[in-house]
Chains A and B, each alone.
Chain A
Amino acid sequence: MPPRSEGPEELPITADDDVVRVRQLVRTYAQQTKLSLVDQTKLVTAASELARNTLIYGGGGFARVEEVSDGRRAGVRASFHDEGPGIPDLTLALADGWSSGSGLGLGLSGAKRLVDQFDLDTEVGRGTVVTVTKWKR
């Protein structure tokens, strides 16, 4: 078993293998929060998409992962921060099949479907923060 983590933890996303490390960190939190296996898989998959976006489109950044509670239930929150070009057209970026890069265009829209809460904070020229939360059922 991985060691229990306390509080938020941050990992840099500056290279390819950082995406793998972010996935593993999110999985550790999802396991200790006792999300179901399907929910763990969904959250880790969403994290993988978003971490790759941070790296490729945001030019790198970092991820923050934490256990959260809304008073009734526990959950895992992961946020992805970059200081890249930002997203000029959110509607387009969130549409299935649209991609500014070489991807399938499923990254943002797909990640959104896999989590319970999805927040996107972006400003052209300043960067992007995507925050996702999965609650324990």
Chain B
Amino acid sequence: MERVPILKIGGLLLVSIQIDLQDQSVLALQEDLAEKISATGAHGVIIDISAVEIVDSFIGRMFATIAGISRLFDADTVVVGMRPAVAITLVELGLTLGGVRTALDLERGMKILGQLGRGRDS
């Protein structure tokens, strides 16, 4: 099973998914992230899916789960870089990712987290 690396940049954790995710990798990522947020006290998590060709219900649910876990550690989650074909497919599949914050790209995602994180550190 391949593992998705988690990078720490300042108070943020960056997860860039570059592999074709199997279910075990998804579960491992959720656990690794929980550990990492707890260990680092990060205030934000960015999940970059610009290289992800499909998001099915299992992977979609991972975003919601990660957002939920982060919230328990007082961290915010943003999913960035969704491909247009993936967005169209997700809506038709019936997954609207209601509770998950999204941004067009990494830059905007970091900006959102910067705004959300402001004030909590000072």
Q: Which residues of A contact B (CB under 8 A)?
A: 16-17, 19-20, 23-24, 27, 37-38, 40-42, 44-45, 48-49, 52, 96, 103-104, 106-107, 109-111, 113-114
Interface of A is mostly: helix
Binds A, one of B19-27, B34-42, B112-120: B19-27
Q: Is the CB of A114 within 8 A of B89?
A: yes
- Residue pair A37, B22 in contact (C-beta under 8 Å): no
B20/A45 in contact, CB under 8 A:
no
Which residues from chain A contact B92 at a C-beta distance below 8 Å? 42, 110, 113-114
Please give, as numbers and ranges, the residues of chain B lying within 8 Å of A52 by CB-CB distance.
Answer: 23, 56, 58
A110-B88 in contact given A16-B22, A45-B54, A52-B58 (Cβ < 8 Å): no
Interface centre among B24, B53, B60, B95, by most A CB within 10 Å?
B53
Verify A104–B61 contact, CB threshold 8 A: yes
Contact flag A41-B53 (CB < 8 Å), given A16-B22, A19-B23: yes
Residues A23 and B93 in contact, CB atoms below 8 Å apart: no
- Contact: B23 with A41, CB < 8 Å? no
- Pick the residue among B1, B56, B61 that contacts A48 (CB under 8 A): B56
- What are the 10 tightest A-B residue pairs by CB atom distance, in nearest-first order? A41-B85, A110-B93, A48-B56, A106-B57, A38-B85, A41-B89, A106-B94, A45-B54, A20-B22, A17-B22
> Are the CB atoms of A17 and B1 closer together than 8 Å?
yes
